[in-house]
Chain A
Amino acid sequence: MSFNNQNIVVNKRRMYINYCSDKKPLENLEDQENLENQENQENQKNRPLKNKINIDGKEIEFLPGDTIMQAAERGGIAHKIPRYCYHPGLPIAGSCRMCNVEIEKASKLMTACSTPASNGMVVHTNTSKVQKACTGVMEFLLTNHPLDCPVCDQAGECELQEYNYEYGPGTSRFSETKRVFTNATTKRLSDKITLNMNRCINCERCIRFEETITKSYELVMLNRSWEKELTLSNYESDENDKDDEDKMPTKGLTSSYQGCLADICPVGALTFNDFRFQKRVWFLNRQPSICDACSKGCNIEVHFENDIIYRYTPIFNEKVNRHWMCDRGRISYHDVEDSGRITMPFMNTIDSHLHSVEWMTVLSYLKSTLAIAKKVLIILGTDSTCEEAKLFINRIPSLSKGEVKVCFYNGTGDVSSSKDDEKIDYLLQMKDQTANTKGLELLGIPPLETSYVPDSTDNTDSTDSDVVIYFRSGRAGVGGRGGLELKLKSSASLFLWGVFYKKELDKAALKQIVAIIPGLMTVEKSGTFINCDSLSQSFTSAITHKGAALPADVIFQIMILENRSAIRS
């Protein structure tokens, strides 16, 4: 039993480690080059000899400049080399000494992460000499590491636990008392990150992340050896008291990618406050999905148990987000779990109050309204998937005899189409806070006319639609809440379809809302988003839908099936 479990864990890590690298096998690259250079075969003859390295008996081709670790990543056997300070997205430090490998004809062990690979090198990763070195490194790391795995949030996905299971000495020869940082045991580095310095193994991944990825330089290591301590560097300069060395840092971490610090920390030293003590990680189910908090479309993994989402973590995708993810996207799962979200069908009755009703009441009312309407306007929020947009374009004309017009509405500040979209920082975040503006444009849907939009200077009276259906999945119109304050004809009836919140309805003009049809958030449905770089990404649902909400295709099926049965009778 335990043996099988160990195999599963190792296989998962093997997949994860080899997948999370941009160093791809070279054979595929060469095939592409061959296709391109079929004409000039003379060049191929003159090409330099292939560089090949032998790691554990496997011949791997690599590019000049690769280290042994990166060559192993190209061969798909990087999981054989343990590592702490090495991370494929960060510069190489070579400080943990965990990735020792034995190279033939070299007198000593070398670190795989920092030794350049050379042609004809023969590397062994699992000899008794390497095992002994790894055991030594583990013993030193564990001298001061507290035994608080029951409390630590990292337990279950901790690299120290995993490698200690494989290489650890099992017993400790350390009889002295362990080092305790009394001031930094539970230290808030910001409102998002908590530091426990006792657990730190000094790999300095966090410092290299701040230096190279976010370029905010907010973390430094103070002192040496046992007193080596991770601290904030942004002390506020106090002119009156220049000699005081114990100045308190005032700002804390300020970058908008702090959640990544907790991700890359191999132990539980840096933890994300939003997930801190919420759940033990071995209870969580995982499902890959797409973040819908901006038009970048970062690849995420939804961690949930019993259909309750506990966190989002980024997945490596070289073309979109690499290893990273912004904090706004990371905590955007709170909108799914919001208690104010409307998950029951509502209808506006005579006394202009919204009342919860049966599904069939709303749908038959919507169908009868569509059947007699002369002009139907469908406003798609730019967070709806391409499949849903297609559904509306194809199915609404079969339900209504009048003139049907489909357009999209973004509603993020002054963004109205993908031309206004731009990067708002150096890494990932985009100005457009909806996921599929580009996709709806590529389907040929025009943007909403400015005369409908609130706060616009266009006062021409072109808002002559009888029935307006506003469809969104919780993100479009967030900035100005524009969807609920549309300038409409007073006799027009507005159907809200999708994800809406009670706090929005307080602001809205209730008289025009005829019915609310609950819909699904991105993590609850399947579909396709096209991100700001015109990259099409499909996803499947992670959790089942909340409350009585139904997918759009099911609702259309119900309405159209009713139509057919009516014709038959």
Chain B
Amino acid sequence: MVTKTLNVSRKHEIKEKFYLIAVLQGMWITLKYFCRGFFLWKSYTINYPEEKRNYSQRFRGMHFISYDENKIENCTACYLCQTVCPAECITIIAEERDPLKNPSGVWKEKKPKSFDIDALRCCFCGMCEESCPKDAIKLSRNYELATRTREQAIYNLDHLKREVKGRG
């Protein structure tokens, strides 16, 4: 394959070459915000770990799986989220629920044996939430997903079944 390099020469006017106007504009903006912060005590940053910024109610963060009053997850391992996921970050293995531990009757005869979400692959598009027929998988507003290793970013069913109030 032959690659070509094209040099584009751009001619600047004398006014553009003499950066004084742009420098003065920048200095004016800096001075404006400095005066607001220094004299009027109006700050634009927050003390992050102690204070948290308020995001929109529709913000999409880390997933969770909702459960009913018996602490049984609503997920029936139908694989629809795994099918629809564009990033292929969801891995489900299904199994049959023990009939004795199935107080909700027929609707929960199938359950996920394992349900892993790779948060590093996830693009938080919310398609899994949209496709779920049981409203089991939902996206909370939790955005603090930093981990020390890559393995820790793969979340299993125990983590996903955590209690989330008001969508986090």
A residues in contact (CB < 8 Å) with B: 146, 148-151, 180, 182, 185-186, 196, 198, 276-278, 280, 282-283
Cβ contact within 8 Å between A151 and B99: no
Cβ contact within 8 Å between A151 and B95: no
Chain B residues within an 8 Å CB radius of A280: 78-79, 83
Q: How far, in angstroms, from A150 to B96 measured CA to CA in the complex?
A: 14
Chain A residues within an 8 Å CB radius of B110: 151, 277
* Nearest CB in chain A: distance from B103 CB, A: 13
Cβ contact within 8 Å between A150 and B83: no
Which of these, A148, A149, A150, A276, contacts B106 with CB under 8 Å? A148
B166 at interface, CB cutoff 8 A: no
CB contact under 8 A between A150 and B134, given known A276-B96, A277-B96, A280-B83: yes
Interface of A is mostly: loop
Which of these, A150, A198, A278, A283, contacts B78 with CB under 8 Å? A150
- Residues B54-92 near A (CB distance < 8 A): 76-80, 83
* Nearest CB in chain B: distance from A457 CB, A: 51
Chain A residues within an 8 Å CB radius of B78: 149-151, 280
28 pairs from A and B in contact (CB 8 Å cutoff): A146-B106, A148-B106, A148-B107, A149-B78, A150-B76, A150-B78, A150-B80, A150-B133, A151-B76, A151-B78, A151-B107, A151-B109, A151-B110, A180-B105, A180-B106, A182-B105, A185-B105, A185-B106, A186-B99, A186-B106, A277-B94, A277-B95, A278-B94, A280-B78, A280-B83, A282-B83, A283-B79, A283-B83
Which 7 A-B pairs have CB atoms at the shortest separation, nearest pair first? A150-B78, A185-B106, A277-B94, A280-B79, A150-B133, A151-B110, A151-B76
Chain B residues within an 8 Å CB radius of A278: 94
B residues in contact (CB < 8 Å) with A: 76-80, 83, 94-96, 99, 105-107, 109-110, 133-134
Chain A residues within an 8 Å CB radius of B80: 150
Interface of B is mostly: mixed
Chain A residues within an 8 Å CB radius of B105: 180, 182, 185
Cβ contact within 8 Å between A185 and B83: no
Most buried by B among A186, A198, A282: A186
Q: How far, in angstroms, from A283 to B88 measured CA to CA in the complex?
A: 13
Q: How far, in angstroms, from A282 to B82 measured CA to CA in the complex?
A: 12
* Nearest CB in chain A: distance from B164 CB, A: 22
Chain B residues within an 8 Å CB radius of A277: 77, 94-96, 110
Closest Cβ neighbor of A147 among chain B residues? B133
* Nearest CB in chain A: distance from B76 CB, A: 5
* Nearest CB in chain B: distance from A258 CB, A: 18
Chain B residues within an 8 Å CB radius of A276: 96
* Nearest CB in chain A: distance from B114 CB, A: 13
Chain B residues within an 8 Å CB radius of A185: 105-106, 109
* Nearest CB in chain B: distance from A156 CB, A: 10
Apart from A277-B96, A280-B79: 20 A-B pairs, beta carbons within 8 A: A146-B106, A148-B106, A148-B107, A149-B133, A150-B76, A150-B78, A150-B133, A150-B134, A151-B76, A151-B78, A151-B107, A151-B110, A185-B106, A185-B109, A186-B109, A196-B106, A276-B96, A277-B77, A278-B94, A280-B83
Closest Cβ neighbor of B80 among chain A residues? A150
* Nearest CB in chain B: distance from A83 CB, A: 27
Q: How far, in angstroms, from A278 to B109 measured CA to CA in the complex?
A: 14
